[in-house]
Amino acid sequence: MHKFLSLVLVIALLAVSSAAFAHGAEKADKAGILVVSFGTSMPQARKAIDNLVNAAKNAFPEIEVRLAFTSNIIRNKLARERGEIIDTPVQALAKMNDEGFTHVYVMPTHIIPGTEYDEIKNVVEAFNSLKGKYGFKKLALGSPYLNSSEDCATMARILFARFANQLKNKNTGIVLMGHGTPEHIANALYSLLQIELDKISYGRFFVGTVEATPQISEVIAKLKRNKKVNKLVLSPFMIVAGDHANNDLAGADDDESWLNILKKSGYKNISTYLVGMGEDPAIARGFVEKIREMMK
Ligand code: CO
């Protein structure tokens, strides 16, 4: 009898406590970082993204860091050719919610808040509209590298340091290829960066974009006004030195590449520096700083 009673008591307690857990008890806090990149399928170019992911892992060793790509073409290519599955931001956040993450810091690797960044923002806003068990206690979105004139000044200093050696030759001009976001006000940030670069080192940096303005024709017009510059260094102003850097910028076989257009415009002495900005230690430090800002 005594045995039976205590068994009933245990069962009753279990029922009460599981009900309390299912309905009332708060989930324990669990934080995560989600790095979001456009993505790349080129193994050499991937180093730049991995460098930023690793910087986040090293800075926040107690927090899990995950990676999502926005490009479905690249995601599908990686799955097909290398068997590597990388989630979209939507998939990654849904999984993190399911796995009990309560605080998620979404950190894009994007340089300007253009169309791509807007799409990530839409995803974050959509998840933030979910209340209850499918929502997060905190879901934050980090800012892109260039979001203000102060950011442009900081980036100009980073670029000046990055090309300090090449700039020692007074006849050298640094031609930077940004990605660009057409018909979007954020594209103006490239011109703001140009202004800041001119403040630090007048007439030595030439910023253009592959998809928007300033176009290569405008870069050449600016080059022609600087008669001293007869030696060029071409480099991507993108996190990843992938397809655009290797083909649209430096493609030797491509008549439309900046390399060939500049050659045709009379520049004989051209070298390339095809390293993604994501590999730059100063860019990795900035990335960590932006994550830290979100956590405040
Ligand atoms: Co592109």
User: Can 110 be counted among the known catalytic residues?
Assistant: no
Active-site option among 103, 110, 179, 244:
179
Q: Which CATH number fits domain 149-238+242-275: 3.30.470.10, 3.50.50.60, 3.40.50.1400, 3.30.930.10?
A: 3.40.50.1400
On whether the CB atoms of residues 73 and 11 are closer than 8 A, the answer is no
Residues with Cβ within 8 Å of residue 131, at least 6 apart in sequence: none
Burial 178-194 (b: 16+ CB within 10 A, else e): bbbbeebebbebbebbb
- The alpha carbon of 186 is separated from its chain's Cα centroid by a whole number of angstroms, namely 15
pLDDT of residue 25: 62
Listed residue (209, 155, 157) closest to 184, CA to CA: 209
CA distance linking residue 147 with residue 149, whole number of Å: 7
Pull the structure tokens for residue 256. 């439309």
CA of 244 to the centre of ligand 1 (A): 7
Q: Which of 84, 99, 111 is nearest to 236 (CA)?
A: 111
**85 CA from centroid of ligand 1 (Å):** 21
What is the whole-number distance in angstroms between the Cα of residue 176 and the centre of ligand 1?
A: 15
Question: Residue holding tokens 């910023």?
Answer: 207
User: Distance from the CA of 3 to the center of ligand 1, in angstroms?
Assistant: 72
Give the residue extent of every domain in the chain: 27-144+281-295, 149-238+242-275
- Measured in Å, residue 251 CA sits from the centre of ligand 1 at 15
Query: From first to last of its 296 residues, what are the pLDDT tens digits of the chain?
Result: 455 555 555 445 444 444 444 555 677 999 999 999 999 999 999 999 999 999 999 999 999 999 999 999 999 999 999 999 999 999 999 999 999 999 999 999 999 999 999 999 999 999 999 999 999 999 999 999 999 999 999 999 999 999 999 999 999 999 999 999 999 999 999 999 999 999 999 999 999 999 999 999 999 999 999 999 999 999 999 999 999 999 999 999 999 999 999 999 999 999 999 999 999 999 999 999 999 999 99
d(CA 136, ligand 1 centre) in Å: 32
* C-alpha to C-alpha distance for 245 and 254, rounded to whole angstroms: 12
pLDDT at 17: 46
> Distance (Å, rounded) from C-alpha 175 to C-alpha 178?
10
Bridge-based pairing of strands 31-37 and 64-69 is: parallel
Question: Could you tell me which residues come within 8 angstroms of residue 290 by beta carbon, excluding any fewer than 6 positions away?
Answer: 107, 142, 143
Tell me if the bond preceding 214 is cis, omega within 30° of 0: yes
Of 181, 150, 160, nearest in space to 289 by CA: 150
Q: Give pLDDT, residue 142.
A: 98
- pTM of structure: 0.90
Residue pair 160/167 in contact (Cβ under 8 Å)? The answer is yes
The Å distance, Cα 238 to ligand 1 centre, comes to 10
Residue 27's pLDDT is 74
The CATH T-level fold of domain 27-144+281-295 is: Rossmann fold (3.40.50)
Secondary structure of residue 147 in the 3-state scheme: coil
Closest among 235, 243, 244 to 275, alpha carbons compared: 235
How far away, in angstroms, is 212 Cα from ligand 1 center?
10
Rounded distance between C-alpha atoms, residue 121 and residue 115, angstroms = 10
Task: Identify whether the C-beta of residue 295 lies closer than 8 Å to the C-beta of residue 105.
Answer: yes
Same fold: 27-144+281-295 with 149-238+242-275: yes
Question: How many whole angstroms from 58 Cα to the centroid of ligand 1?
Answer: 29
Give the pLDDT of residue 20.
45
In the reported structure, the alpha carbon of residue 63 is separated from the centroid of ligand 1 by a whole-number distance in angstroms of 31
- Coil, helix or strand at residue 46: helix
Alpha-carbon distance of 54 to 291, in angstroms, equals 13
